[in-house]
Structure 1
């Protein structure tokens, strides 16, 4: 697979903002200067994820995709406007899985893009799913994700279980398996109703990650929610791309939920450190214990990534977007 010359990742939606974090050569931040300026204004945060991922060839050709659509469209659109992101330049949208903190803004985002747009998703993302708790049942948590809704907003569905190449060095993982022993998770209380009417434990088979293979730097993996385990996701993408070097990994690693053991958190941090990456950014559902463990083990690689963060890897053209 052809690698890209560089990549730029802009975080349009994340769980929190922090205006006190400084910028660095690899990270541009929307900070206090913009937050308190009447010309710009504050960003918004919510329990969701949305990334604008841009890859560039040596000749300057660009591919721009949205990875996930946040929890709500108003937050994504507000932040895109303040960050100077023109959503009409998006080539495609990839939905990682059928959970509302990742697909919730899809129809509003597609309408804002304003042109027919491929939307890649695993077909199981549309199966009704629920969470059963001792005191209540949360029925059909993905009720807002429908094929008709996506198509009505201008999306052209591409339903795929296998990896899909999106541009030089850029591809989806396709369906994955958990391979690291400490990452196996019992789906207690999660149920899925399949198209044939069967009701089974929801293994979240639709969960996918994104890989970016950058020439001279290595592999960047965006794992939005860690349902297969972030180490298993990295191993899957290393095998898929044939690239051994892990430059970095970011996203939600699913280690912040109640009941996640200290063993899994510690094992995850140690396994990440063993790759000797340049960047590790636990976000969203990763939880403080894992952030702390990564920060202590590999402080030079650890990065706090919030809404408004712009990460660059490799050779990218100057960012002409102005905060507005």
Structure 2
């Protein structure tokens, strides 16, 4: 199994804007640039998710000194608009053909009907043809894939802890028989980065499949301890008991730090901050994590 010598994560999109760099834009969404250095000293860059608005990602990348043209691959956590809406603009910024790794369900209809709120399309807001014309070469997989040295797209997540998979209440899709059906969001996945002499960094996009399940599966796929878990945890609707159960899974896995944002939720972030103390961080646009083994 390949390992990176060094890893750096830069959050190009999150629900909050940072203050270390003036002019950064926030948006409801997530996008993370993953940069790893291999044993030969070569740098590889992967973009995980593309937020809701690509223009803001391009803007933030410029302010942060990130060259989107150097991105070697794009990985998608799932098909919701706040993680795929910026894809077309990002592809145009990259300016060449690039692999886009996603689950086979990425183009399935995503419908949200809950109470008096009806949204018939909360999925990827472009056709496959539009994206391919802009440079996307889709790799649609259910199984894990190493997309850069030490960088693993996790594929369809084993839901070892089904009670800790929040899903999305009111989520529907269209079955192969043309019937409206509950959407299990099997496409929801994460990324794991293995750093030599450190362990694994795990990133959740929205974690509808459960961040406990994503971290657990990352440990299984990589054989490494997930020491740092970051991204969107989608605990916004979880009870305090379920949040504490997730933390217990984290502790059993060896998770030492949690850096959260996007859809994690204020209650969950307060509990995580209390439980992890100095090991807790709140992410924002412009936030960066650097790990050297």
Corresponding residue number in structure 2 for 1:234: 215
- Structure 1 position 274, deviation (Å): 4.1
**CA distance 1:269–1:132, shift in 2 (3 Å):** same
Q: Residue in 2 aligned with 1:177?
A: 158
Could you tell me which residue of structure 1 aligns to residue 230 of structure 2? 250
The two structures have a TM-score, normalised by structure 2, of 0.95
Deviation of residue 143 (structure 1)?
5.4
RMSD of the alignment, in Å? Answer: 1.6
Give, in whole Å, the separation in 2 of the partners of 1:5 and 1:233.
23
Where 1:299 maps in the other structure, the secondary structure is: helix
Give the 5 Å matches for 1:130-209: 130-142=111-123, 144-185=125-166, 187-209=168-190
CA contact (8 A) 1:273 1:297 kept: no
TM normalised by structure 1 equals: 0.86
Q: Deviations over 1:125-173 (max 9, x none)?
A: 1011201122132112225132112101111111111111112211111
Map residues 1-324 of structure 1 onto 2, 5 A cutoff: 1-19=1-19, 31=20, 34-35=21-22, 42-142=23-123, 144-185=125-166, 187-243=168-224, 245-257=225-237, 260-314=238-292
Unaligned ranges ≥5, structure 1: 20-30, 36-41, 316-324
Q: By how many angstroms is 1:178 displaced?
A: 1.7
Unaligned stretches of 5+ residues in structure 2: none
Q: Deviations over 1:80-117 (max 9, x none)?
A: 01001111100011111110000000001000000111
On the 8 A contact 2:81/2:123 being kept in 1, the answer is: yes
> Larger % of strand: which?
2
- Aligned equivalents of 2:169, 2:86: Cα separation in 1: 27
CA distance in 2, matches of 1:185, 1:256: 9
Where has structure 1 moved over 4 Å in runs of 4 or more? none
